[in-house]
A and B are shown apart, each in its own frame.
Chain A
Amino acid sequence: MVYRRCLQLLRDDAEASDLMQDVFLRIYSALERLDMESPSSLLWNTATRLCLNRIRDKRRRGLDVDSSSLLLSIACAEDEHDDYETKNVLAKLFSKEPESSRTMAVLHFVDGMTLEETAREVGLSVSGVRKRLRGLQAKVKTLEVK
């Protein structure tokens, strides 16, 4: 599942393999602090987030990125909520920090999850997800949040 997810987003066998390892290592290193209610969601969302970061980093370095324009737009969108990497895992101890808006956008626009499914996936209300996606929509004009 994780490898396939990485391959789907990165479209590169070697990178997918590399990211897959990273996903497991990240989760392993924070295993005791993470919410394990839905391990599949955790793996899926972590893979999504790391792949988005990889795509964004490559783009910033001027490297070719073999991604759809939609995914590229989402990956490179500025997201004020996207501080998961630096503090979210620990911040979860004091408050449930929601998943980044970019990950939500991929779940909804790329994976085809409904707003309800996306909300369930990231532990937010539907209105909360809609609000976050609309915030991202202001930066990614091709997104249309219903």
Chain B
Amino acid sequence: MIPDWKLERFLTGDLPEEEMNKLRELEANDAIFANRVKMLREDNKAILSKLSFEEIAEKIAEMDAENAAGKCSSVNGATSGTVTDSVARFRILKLASAAVLVLAVALVAFFAQRETTVMNERVGSDVASVQETQNTQVALAETQSDTRIKGLDARMEVWKKTSAGIAQLNDLDSVGEGDEIQLRYAVPEKCFGLLFSMDGNGALTLHMGDGVKAIELAPGKMNSLPFAYKLDDAPYFEKFFFVTSPKEFAVEENDVDKLLKRSDVKVIGFTLKKAGK
């Protein structure tokens, strides 16, 4: 007897391929099982016709409106929201709702394309030092990509661990020595990416990459780097750079500015001020 939960997964196409094939075969050859599947499919249609999703749609619109209102004052790329983003998110949920009830396969297909997750590796700590003056200019420079359209561009989030839990940071928030920082990112399409930071001592730290080379990133959900990053006693600031490009690239340890000025890369910057420094 196939349990209900497995039957539901069969309908959504969310079982391992081997099991899917087994159940497809069963549906073709076992009249009782085929009838259970048929009844569930009919039930899906009945549920969709009976329940209105207008209310969910309205609540989602409200949530997005609140989010957009809360975020529009920020010019920081990592936290800005847009109408485009809302529409995209709304579509995702509409898709999810419909998929679970009727077009379940579509939902799984949508998320399945997000499944290819590129494993990220944090590489070492400091890999190079450059001249402090030059670094400061680089670190404090605003890049064009700092303001971007969320959902259509690469994104980076910076979170801090606190005694009460964790909190998302905004650009130019203050942090202190010993604070644990977690970095997250997402890209809208397959590309190469590198994530590094520079502190007030001019030390460059690579957080994600193959040495100084960018690694291939898969599009989809937000990815957390596997390790949190503990801030040291470097003064003034810690600025994070998330650099992406359709082509392979690398950062030159002694000339970060050169990479940031390239026309074929997109840069998201995020600066944390060091409290009391």
Please list the residues of chain A having a beta carbon within 8 angstroms of any beta carbon in chain B: 1-5, 8, 17, 20-21, 24-25, 27-29, 31-41, 43-44, 87, 90-91, 93-94, 107, 111-113
Contacts and interface: CB of A to CB of B under 8 A. Distances in A.
Contact of A28 (B9, B43, B93): B93
Given A25-B59, A93-B159, A94-B161, A39 B96 contact: yes
Contact of A21 (B11, B56, B186, B228): B56
What's the dominant secondary structure at chain A's contact region?
helix
A136 to B, nearest CB: 20
Interface string B72-109: 00000000000000000100110011001100100110
A21 B55 CA distance: 8
A3 B43 CA distance: 10
B221 A28 contact: no
Contacts, number: 98
A35 B220 CA distance: 11
B47 A3 contact: yes
B14 A39 contact: yes
Given A28-B63, A31-B92, A39-B14, A1 B8 contact: yes
Given A36-B221, A40-B108, A111-B4, A94 B9 contact: no
A8 B4 CA distance: 11
B255 to A, nearest CB: 33
Contact of B96 (A21, A27, A44, A113): A27
